[in-house]
Amino acid sequence: MNPYQLALWKLVRFPYRCFLSPEVFGLENVSRAVSRAAADKRGLLLIANHISAWDPIFICGVLHASLLCEMGEVTFLGKRELFDRPWKRWLMTRLGCVNIRERAVLRRVVQGLREGKTFFLFPEGCVSSDGHMGRDLGAVRFLAKHASFVVLPIRVQGIYGGFRNDWKKIAVGRRRFQVAFGPPVVLEKGDHPRLDAMTMIRAIPLDGGLCLDDLPVWAVS
């Protein structure tokens, strides 16, 4: 993590865990993914469904400092609207977010995956309006055409219609916010026409019960 990411993590971790009391599954898969990426000397791509603008903070907030340090600095791949104001660009840049719509950024991401760096991507491309998962826009397939890397799928659930509209139900304990980390998936460089990142995320149960053998055959190297 860069200094800004670490400062934000320290600021929100305690109130987040107390306020939302997240239920977490599959933390051991994070260590497995980091270790596999390091052993194979390839990049790590975290992918998750998108139910609120706070998802990156909520997901990183359930991770221990040791795991985040193992990952190193995480680059978040965001939409262009996050950079449409000078103050937004200033803030997003310091928090490690880049505009995935820029060609130069895509080239840097591909090169970064080849060099073993860590990235975070929402395959849907936008926040779900009702909490249900949308379709895969193909970014993971595109990256896999140009680099080999390890994918860590993440499933989040508990917010329907954005955090600003739905936080009260979680705050009063009527619903638990849940984060589940699936087993790491190794993608080799090449065409993967059947690869669907959202299917990979949907396959993660919210009880920690998924094993590697449960994944579609195309998803496992």
3-state secondary structure of 153: strand
- State residue 99 phi and psi, 5-degree precision: -85, 105
The encoded tokens of residue 183 equal 């087993």
Cα 184 versus chain centre, distance? 12
Q: Are 129 and 163 in contact (CB under 8 A)?
A: no
Residue 18 is inside which H or E element, if any?
helix 3-20
145 falls in which pLDDT band (50, 70, 90)? Answer: very high
pLDDT at residue 38 is higher than 50: yes
pLDDT over 80 at 212, yes or no: no
Q: 215 pLDDT exceeds 50?
A: no
How far is Cα 72 from Cα 117, in angstroms, rounded to an integer? Answer: 8
- Residue 9 confidence (pLDDT): 86
Q: Of the ranges 6-10, 16-20, 152-156, 171-175, which one carries the lowest mean pLDDT score? A: 171-175
Domain range summary for the chain, segments of one domain joined by +: 3-219
Residue positions counted in the chain? 221
Tell me the pairing of strands 118-121 and 74-78. parallel
The mean per-residue pLDDT over the stretch 52-62 comes to 87
Q: What is the pTM (predicted TM-score) of this model?
A: 0.86
* Two structure tokens written together for 121: 């991507």
